[in-house]
Structure 1
Amino acid sequence: MKSHIKLFSPQEIARLKQFSQQNKSVFVGLSGGVDSVVLLDTIHKLNQTFAPDEQLLLCAVHVHHGLSDNAEAWLKFCAEFCQQRQIKFEFKKVKLAKQSRQSLEALARDARYSVFKQVAGKNAIVVTAQHLNDQAETFFLRLKRGSGPNGLASMNPLSDLTQDIELWRPLLGVSKLEILDYAKANNLDWVEDESNLNDDFDRNFLRNQILPELEARWPGFSQCVARSAELCRQENQIIEEVAAVDFNAAVVSFSNLARVQPMFTSQVLDISLIQNLSYARQNSLLRFWLNKNNELMPSQKIMQQILDNFTCSEDQQPKIKLKLGEIRQYKTRLFYLTQTEIDAFEQEAEPLSWNGEAEVELNTGTKLHIANLGIALPTVNQIAQIRFKPSLSTKCYPKYRNCRKTLKQLLQEYEVPPWMRNQVAYLFYDDELISALGLWVCEPPIN
């Protein structure tokens, strides 16, 4: 008989024990198919070998997509399977609304992971049943898209689903044949999803038509593909480590911009510190930066556009629209702006009176912190007002300078990009400019 111990490697068994010691709740995705049934049975039996005070908080999760006439039967099967083993069981019914250019496979997958996130909560592990053959299929699908090492690494055994939830795939080293052998040896029942026979789906086409032919010609082919995926994962780790070093050397602090618009949180790159890197390192640094900003990776054509900015004139101010945000350049600085930041920069703030408060809230919702800026309070007869967009020809005598300069000159000196200048709040006493809040204080006042 194929024991449950044999399906899990010693490393995966040790990981499972570690989860129990960390008091993590374990949520196993259960579709009712043979892969997920074997996964749940294996973890359940392993859990029973642990000491009573070290056993996992185990729960099976079924997602009812409503795509098959058999969906209700699958739900019933999963519920009974768990009831027979006294495993906690939860299910969610989802409605899939197909978007343009989004495959039904991707839509269903996103719905499953969304449910996992809802059900699991914090300090949890979500476990799914992808196996070695799935890994080979993923490799080929990524290869079809022209992916690099990161994409060809395919599925990681352990990754972050959210900040509080880890995603674990313990069967990536186990073949489909081994899973079927285990199921038969342990007299397990399972359901068959009829959509797995539909070769209109790319993954099914690979599974049913292509990979069996390759396996017949070269036995062990899927194991070799999985090994290549693992080597790509290791190579990509090196690439990311180098990119992190380059990023830390090229990122610059723009804390003054955050004082102007607290919504601004992105890291800014100094192009002059990147230009001497090789093209490959520039490319990996850019990907690292976009990933840190949670941007979806753009096409190679768009990536080339961004890289071309590294050599363009400081006078140019190109904008490149991405899927979730936008890249803009000002002088030698490269900015990534989220759509939320872009919307905030385009809002029109209205002037308001100031009565000495440490913090004021604008009509846009932005909060200005005025305490500890070295600003003397107005006299009884002076009217204090916070204004926006004064004439850029207005002259100011900042405390740290020994001459007057126009606002335009000072904003350039502080490297405030043009798209943020409307957000700079100016404090006036009567019609005398006292401060550009968060940037500088004027002394003496303008005559």
Structure 2
Amino acid sequence: MDAFSPTALWSALTALEDGSGERRLCVALSGGLDSTVLLEALCRLRERLPADGLRGIHVHHGLHADADDWAAHCQALCGRLGVPLQVVRVDARPAPGESPEAKARGVRYAALAEALAPGEVLLTAHHADDQLETALIQLLRGAGVAGLAAMPTSARFGPGLHLRPLLGFTRAELAAWAAAEGLSGWIRDPANEELRYARNHLRSEVLPALRAHWPGAAAAVGRSARHCAEASRLLDELAALDAANCVTGNAVRVSALRGLSPARQRNLLRWQARRLGLAVPDERRLATLLAQALEAAPDAQPQVEWAEVVALRHGDRLWLAPAAALPAPAGDLDWPNPRQPLELGTGLGTVALVPSEHGGLGEAGFKAGPWRVVARRGGERLELPGRPGTRALKKLLQEAGLPPWIRGRLPLLEIGGKLAAAGDRWVDAAFWAPPGKAAWRLEWTGSRLPGHELFVVG
């Protein structure tokens, strides 16, 4: 690795992002050695940046008694350097059973993404030793190539970009430059010394012995991480090719999935989860998911869950979705003004009346009131226009091929206590107006239910 210097930093930056010299840069400043060196070196490069093209941001986690002092230290540092600083306060207290590291990391990155301006570049001070630690932790967790790629040097982030320009330098090289420049007084977080945390234990107890035998471990593992990153990109490209034949909207076609080799099946489902912003299933859950999706009877409704994600199969389609996309059915709701949309509740969207040229709810219904949107209770029946007798709603829903999670949440319209319409599918003959008459249909939109866009007209 080359010795660290502002010139070497600029070379790393421009290699990562061709427009770095034209973009505004925002340094995630903890006040520790690494981020202090990054900010100080960038200040030596200010003439290469656009006017007002450099600022800092400090996330105040509120977890340590000295957190206010750390924020004040960063304010003083930025004041000395003439760099604007934004301090963002977050609540990083973990819930019972939640990892403190994961909680702090999650809220920190969420705050940084929210604070980033459109097109702005976030710079974090992760270095080669951090990459070594991350790759080893991922290896010990049994990660695949995506995990072993460790931290990317460049990634889309919020409204801008996230770069890690120090991954080619060790912490020792950063410290050597700081000493040569006469820098001192950076923050030392005592949490970094607590060996109960996996990363700290690895850094303190394992890596010194590793480096004693392999002094170039950070550089070598960094190369391996880059190889894994390239392999991961190739797997993503393969998944995208498979998706062209296997994925319709947000659903995977099971019959097409069966035509892939087992490795490509697993690769496609992992890719689909990442594409949708969902947690990737572990090896065991993925095997269960594939077995149930591919082997269950055609009329079965297998469901697999992991990490706040649910996988649902209906017929030839398999959906991966947030568990929150299956909210409880809405309760009974009064609809005092049917000419205005009615909110059904979180995740369930809205219902509204829209004019219909093909028949629908007639004008008389507005006078019959009151209007209510109710949930299914079982036993509902409808008399369909032009057809004698009544039909069970349950039978109609099954014949229409609606998935059970949509059937159970289909909004039913009651007028004057009588079932008038079931979603936008059926209108009872007593409330029907034929084509050519003034008519409306019930439109159900905005639902997050998996498959809503395929099975519900709106």
Please state which band the TM-score falls in when normalised by the shorter chain.
0.7 to 0.9
Match of 1:305 in 2: 288
1:159 aligned counterpart, secondary structure: strand
Q: 3-state DSSP class of the match of 1:298?
A: coil
Describe the superposition over 1:89-145 as per-residue Cα deviations: whole angstroms up to 9, x where unpaired.
222344432223333222332232233234324332221100001000000111111
2:195 paired with 1:176: no
Q: How far 1:431 moved relative to its partner?
A: 5.8
Give the 3-state SS of the residue equivalent to 1:123 in structure 2. coil
Kindly tell me: are residues 349 and 375 of structure 1, through their superposed partners in 2, closer, same or farther at Cα, counting changes over 3 Å? farther
Deviation at 1:176, TM superposition (A): 1.3
Give the secondary-structure state (helix, strand or coil) at the position aligned to 2:326: helix
Give the alignment partner of residue 293 of structure 1, picking from 263, 271, 276: 276
The answer for the alignment partner of 1:361 in structure 2 is 342
Which runs of structure 2 are paired with 1:117-196 in the superposition (5 Å)? 117-162=113-158, 164-189=159-184, 190-196=186-192
Deviation at 1:161, TM superposition (A): 2.8
Correspondence 1:51-130 to 2 at 5 A: 54-130=50-126
Correspondent of 2:197 among 185, 197, 201: 201
Number of the residue aligned with 2:301: 317
Q: Where does residue 213 of structure 2 map in the other structure?
A: 217
Shift of 1:395: 6.8
Alpha-carbon distance between aligned partners in 2 of 1:227 and 1:153, rounded to the nearest angstrom: 9
Q: 1:334 aligns with which of 307, 311, 318?
A: 318
CA distance in 2, matches of 1:337, 1:393: 32
Following superposition, the deviation at residue 216 of structure 1 comes to: 1.4
Q: Name the aligned partner's letter for residue 130 of structure 2.
A: D
Query: Is 2:335–2:372's contact at 8 Å kept on the other side of the alignment?
Result: yes
Aligned residue for 1:444?
A: none
Query: How far apart, in 2, do the equivalents of 1:333 and 1:433 lie?
Result: 35
Find the counterpart in structure 2 of residue 347 from structure 1. Answer: 330
CA distance in 2, matches of 1:440, 1:169: 45
**How far has the Cα of 1:196 moved from its partner?**
2.8
Query: Separation in 1 of the partners of 2:232 and 2:97?
Result: 28
Distance across 2 between alignment mates of 1:398 and 1:238? 57
Shift of 1:156: 0.4
**Against the structure 1 CA distance between its residues 220 and 398, is the aligned structure 2 distance closer, same or farther, given a 3 Å change threshold?**
farther
More displaced stretch, 291-300 vs 62-71: 62-71
Whether the 8 Å CA contact 1:250–1:274 is kept in 2: the answer is yes
Provide closer, same or farther for how the CA distance between residues 187 and 427 of structure 1 changes in structure 2, counting only shifts above 3 A. same
Q: 1:56 to 1:398 in 2, by over 3 A?
A: farther
Tell me how far apart the structure 2 counterparts of residues 406 and 10 of structure 1 sit (CA, whole Å): 71
Q: What runs of 5+ residues in structure 1 fail to find an aligned partner?
A: 254-266, 442-447
Number of the residue aligned with 1:428:
428
Partner Cα separation in structure 2 for residue 440 and residue 147 of structure 1: 39
CA RMSD in angstroms, aligned pairs only: 3.5
Q: Judge conservation of contact 2:359–2:432 (CA < 8 Å) in 1.
A: no
Deviation at 1:160, TM superposition (A): 2.5
Counterpart of 1:81 in structure 2: which amino acid?
A: L
Instruction: Indicate the residue corresponding to 1:256 in structure 2.
Output: none
Q: Which structure 2 segments of 5+ residues have no match?
A: 411-421, 435-439, 444-454
The 1:180–1:318 alpha-carbon spacing in structure 2 relative to 1, beyond 3 Å, is same
Matched residue, 1:27: 26
- 1:416 maps to a residue whose letter is L
Q: Taking structure 1 as reference, are residues 209 and 362 closer, same or farther at Cα in structure 2, changes over 3 Å only?
A: closer
Of 213, 219, 236, 1:240 maps to: 236
Map Cα deviations across residues 248-277 of structure 1 (whole Å, 9 max, x no partner): 312235xxxxxxxxxxxxx12221111121
Q: Partner of 2:26: helix, strand, or coil?
A: strand
Report Cα offsets for 1:133-166 as digits up to 9, x if no partner: 100000011111111011111000111332x132
Report SS of the residue matched to 2:56. strand
* Distance in 2 of aligned mates of 1:85 and 1:440: 59
**CA separation in 2, counterparts of 1:56 and 1:16?**
19
The range that moved more, 319-328 or 148-157, is 319-328
SS, match of residue 430 in structure 1 = helix
Judged with a 3 Å threshold, the aligned counterparts in structure 2 of structure 1 residues 405 and 354 are, in CA distance, closer, same or farther, namely: farther
Q: Are 1:38 and 2:37 an aligned pair?
A: yes
Instruction: Call closer, same or farther: CA 1:89–1:37 in 2, change over 3 Å.
Output: same
Give 1:69 deviation, angstroms.
4.7
Conserved? CA contact 1:135–1:226, under 8 Å: yes
Deviation at 1:240, TM superposition (A): 1.1
Q: Is the 8 A contact 1:361 1:367 kept in 2?
A: yes
Q: How far did 1:88 drift?
A: 0.7
Distance in 1 (alpha carbons) for counterparts of 2:395 and 2:90: 57
Q: Residues 312 and 418 (structure 1 numbering): CA distance in 2 closer, same or farther, change over 3 Å?
A: same
CA distance in 2, matches of 1:58, 1:427: 62
Q: Could you state the TM-score of these two structures normalised by the residue count of structure 2?
A: 0.79
The equivalent of 1:261 in structure 2 is: none
How far 1:387 moved relative to its partner?
7.5
- Is the Cα contact below 8 Å between 1:19 and 1:56 reproduced in 2? no
Q: Do 1:159 and 1:166's aligned partners in 2 also have CA atoms closer than 8 Å?
A: yes
Q: What displacement does 1:19 show?
A: 3.5
**C-alpha distance in 2, partners of 1:244/1:398?**
48
Q: Judging changes above 3 Å, is the alpha-carbon distance between structure 1 residues 241 and 137 closer, same or farther for their aligned structure 2 residues?
A: same
What is the percentage of aligned positions where both structures have the same residue? 27
CA drift of 1:379 comes to 6.8
**Equivalent AA in structure 2 for residue 277 of structure 1:** L
Q: Secondary structure at the match of 1:370?
A: strand
Judging changes above 3 Å, is the alpha-carbon distance between structure 1 residues 95 and 334 closer, same or farther for their aligned structure 2 residues? closer
Map of 1:273 onto structure 2: 256
Q: 1:368 to 1:76 in 2, by over 3 A?
A: closer
- Determine the C-alpha separation between the residues in 2 that align with 1:154 and 1:431: 61
- 1:415 and 2:396 matched: no
The secondary structure found in structure 1 opposite 2:362 is coil
Q: Deviations over 1:256-301 (max 9, x none)?
A: xxxxxxxxxxx12221111121111111111122223322223322
Aligned residues: 415
Moved more, 273-282 or 287-296: 287-296
CA spacing shift, 1:182–1:387, aligned 2, 3 Å? closer
Which secondary structure does the structure 2 equivalent of 1:287 belong to?
helix
CA–CA separation in structure 2 for the residues paired with 1:62 and 1:206: 26
Question: CA offset at residue 225 of structure 1?
Answer: 0.6
